[in-house]
């Protein structure tokens, strides 16, 4: 049972990325990084007690969304869900991410929560996580000595765990540019949007008429991390998406997921509805 | 205990505060400044009772905000909407539409409604309900609150900033 009282900690408010990386080199694993704090403050009220909190609230330059044709989308570490919602390039070219932002938590939380924070928390229920896994892309991690890119496909290493090392700052997310044939969509199953999703799913299809040339299917809340559906993707890729293919999606999805009973939903519901949800998203994406 | 000095503007007053770094904005408002118009409901950003407006137009949960990270910002709370003893258009509408029962969600509802009308002076019912998704009311069933926001939108002045 939580006290909902914040523990004491050391607070650092660096003014630049360099200063942040210096702090991370020193404090590494005993520090948590905070931007909006909507997730971290709750976690600290429940059971998390870091020695040091490094707030990047005063670090300049990490709050931009930029799109360049041919290069794609770059989302800085401090970019909030609200900023994503207000961005025309995201709405038009990465609709799955925009749709995830639209139903994300509450309007107040959207003003402080960050897209990168959703990925770093790595909850299998993360809405932005689901959309970005379908869209594809990578996270840029930086420490004092170097930077490296980690594909979103390799980013989550276990339940609430990710590839970021203690001395690294996740600087930005980069998503590839869509083509004229790209179709993306996101949906979550929930009673009210404020709740964590019972299931969320997102698809990215490259369509040439009815022929599917590529498929990325992402689903959340049915395993320890947000996950792809490789067998269902193989079913679609290289096929004309007709009634037979659509009819076989649900059964294939059920073979790839490992949902559990929890506070939000049951294993049985998730097994049944996951397949229906993915099928409907594919149908909607190709129409 | 780690403390920090923070310059904060609260409802038009420039303040210099010394706060523990783990103190939330909600605690600063209620306990250090004695301004209890902002309410504690859940402490986890789910009920919206602690909603305040930052820098004129951004609604935030004060229970999830560390005061020590708010250097130089301006905060508007429910009492800050009252000008020369007169309730704001939103506050008046909540009264006239009997959108208040126990009153506990009301400051948060009023702040969120105000930030909505600042961005969207003519919202549809659907837009109002969507924007109030982060504010929970246990008494009214929300209909009177929606009507209050609709009424307020008719007389809401074209201002850009809650602190004006």
Flag if B24 and A13 touch (Cβ within 8 Å): no
Per the structure block, which two tokens stand in for A169?
A: 């700052």
| Confidence band of B160 (pLDDT split at 50, 70, 90) | low
Q: Can you tell me whether residue A185 is helix, strand or coil?
A: strand
Using the beta-carbon criterion (under 8 Å), do B21 and A11 form an inter-chain contact?
yes
Task: Point out the domain boundary residue: B80, B99, B126.
Answer: B80
Q: Residue A149 falls within a domain, yes or no?
A: yes
User: Which of B22, B46, B134 has the CB atom closest to A9's CB atom?
Assistant: B22
User: Where does a domain end: B34, B51, B80?
Assistant: B80
Number of domains in chain B: 2
The Cα A146–Cα A212 span in angstroms is: 39
The answer to whether position A230 is within a domain reads: yes
Q: Could you read off the pLDDT of A222-267 as tens digits, one per residue?
A: 999 999 999 999 999 999 999 999 999 999 999 999 999 999 999 9
**Does residue A3 belong to any structural domain of this protein?**
no
How far apart are the CA of A224 and the nearest CA of chain B, in angstroms?
24
**Is B139 part of a structural domain of the chain?**
yes
* Residue A29 placed within a domain: yes
Question: Touching check for B71 and chain A: CB below 8 Å?
Answer: yes
With a pLDDT cut of 90, the percent of chain A lying above it is: 95
* Domain count within chain A: 3
Q: In A, which residues are within 8 Å of B133 by CB distance?
A: 106-107, 192-194
Q: Which of A175, A202, A218 is the last residue of a domain?
A: A175
User: How does pLDDT run across A34-70, given as a tens digit for each residue?
Assistant: 999 999 999 999 999 999 999 999 999 999 999 999 9
Same domain, B10 and B74: yes
DSSP A36: S
Question: Distance between CA atoms of A153 and A136, rounded to whole angstroms?
Answer: 8
Same domain, B24 and B43: yes
Specify the CATH number for the domain of residue A31: 3.30.43.10
Residue A4 inside a domain? The answer is no
Q: Which residue of A has its CA nearest to B1?
A: A8
Segment A188-217 mean pLDDT: 95
Mean pLDDT of A194-212: 96
Q: Is B105 exposed, middle or buried (0-12, 13-18, 19+ CB in 10 A)?
A: buried
Do B15 and B52 share a domain, yes or no?
A: yes
List the CATH number of the domain containing A143.
3.30.465.10
B61 & B76 share domain? yes
Which tokens hold the place of B130? 């969507």
Q: Which CATH number fits the domain that encloses residue B124?
A: 1.10.150.120
pLDDT (mean) for B80-84: 96
Assess whether A25 and A77 both reside in one domain.
no
Which of A41, A45, A106 faces B134 most closely, judged by CB atoms? A106
Q: pLDDT class for B157, splitting at 50, 70, 90? A: confident
Q: For residue B159, what pLDDT band results from cuts at 50, 70 and 90?
A: low
Residue A2 lies in a domain: no
Query: Do B45 and B12 have their domain in common?
Result: yes
Read off the CATH number of the domain in which B24 is found: 3.10.20.30
Residues 130-189 of A with CB under 8 A from B: none
Q: Does A113 touch chain B (CB under 8 A)?
A: no
pLDDT band, residue B162 (cuts 50/70/90): low
Same domain, B55 and B69: yes
pTM equals 0.96
Q: Which of B80, B107, B131 is the last residue of a domain?
A: B80
Please name which of B98, B100, B70, B64 lies closest in space to residue B78, comparing C-alpha atoms.
B100
A142 domain-assigned: yes
For residue A18, give its domain range. 10-55
Quote the longest CA-to-CA distance of chain A: 59
Residue with tokens 């914040």: A6
The answer to the question of residue B160 being in a domain is no
Query: In this predicted model, what pLDDT tens digit does every residue of A13-41 receive, in sequence order?
Result: 999 999 999 999 999 889 999 999 999 99
Domain interval for residue B54: 3-80
d(CA A227, CA B164): 48
């Amino acid at each position: 049972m939580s006290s909902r009282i914040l523990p004491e900690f050391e607070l650092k408010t660096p003014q630049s990325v360099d200063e942040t990386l210096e702090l991370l080199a020193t404090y590494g694993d005993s520090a948590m990084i905070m931007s909006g704090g909507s997730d971290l403050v709750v976690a600290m009220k429940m059971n998390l007690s870091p020695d040091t909190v490094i707030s990047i609230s005063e670090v300049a330059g990490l709050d931009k969304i930029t799109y360049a044709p041919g290069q794609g989308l770059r989302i800085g570490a401090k970019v909030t869900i609200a900023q994503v919602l207000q961005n025309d390039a995201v709405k038009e070219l990465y609709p799955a991410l925009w749709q995830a932002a639209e139903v994300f938590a509450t309007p107040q939380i959207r003003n402080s929560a960050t897209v990168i924070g959703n990925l770093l928390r790595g909850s299998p229920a993360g809405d932005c996580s689901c959309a970005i896994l379908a869209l594809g892309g990578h996270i840029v991690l930086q420490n004092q000595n170097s930077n490296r890119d980690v594909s979103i496909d390799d980013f989550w290493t276990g339940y609430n765990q990710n590839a970021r090392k203690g001395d690294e700052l996740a600087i930005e997310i980069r998503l590839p540019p869509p083509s004229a044939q790209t179709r993306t969509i996101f949906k979550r199953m929930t009673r009210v949007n404020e709740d964590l999703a019972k299931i969320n799913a997102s698809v990215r299809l490259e369509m040439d008429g009815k022929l599917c040339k590529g498929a990325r299917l992402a689903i959340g809340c049915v395993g320890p991390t947000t996950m792809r559906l490789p067998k269902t993707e193989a079913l679609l890729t290289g096929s004309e998406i007709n009634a037979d293919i659509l009819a076989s999606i649900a059964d294939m999805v059920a073979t790839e997921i490992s949902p559990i009973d929890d506070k939000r939903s049951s294993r049985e519901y998730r097994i049944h509805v996951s397949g229906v949800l993915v099928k409907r998203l594919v149908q909607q994406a190709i129409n | 205990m780690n403390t920090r000095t923070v310059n904060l503007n609260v409802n038009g007053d420039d303040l210099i505060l010394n706060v523990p770094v783990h103190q939330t904005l909600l605690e600063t408002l209620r306990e250090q400044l004695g301004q209890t118009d902002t309410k504690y409901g859940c402490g986890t950003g789910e009920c919206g009772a602690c909603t305040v407006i930052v820098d004129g137009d951004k609604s935030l949960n004060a229970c999830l905000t560390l005061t020590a990270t708010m250097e130089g910002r301006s905060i508007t709370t429910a009492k800050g909407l009252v000008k020369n003893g007169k309730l704001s258009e939103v506050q008046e509408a909540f009264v006239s539409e009997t959108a208040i029962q126990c009153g506990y969600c009301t400051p948060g509802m009023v702040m969120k409604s105000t930030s909505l009308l600042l961005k969207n002076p003519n919202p549809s019912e659907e837009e109002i309900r969507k924007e109030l998704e982060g504010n929970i009311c246990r008494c009214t069933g929300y209909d009177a609150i929606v009507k209050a926001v609709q009424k307020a939108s008719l007389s809401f002045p074209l201002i850009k900033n809650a602190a004006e």
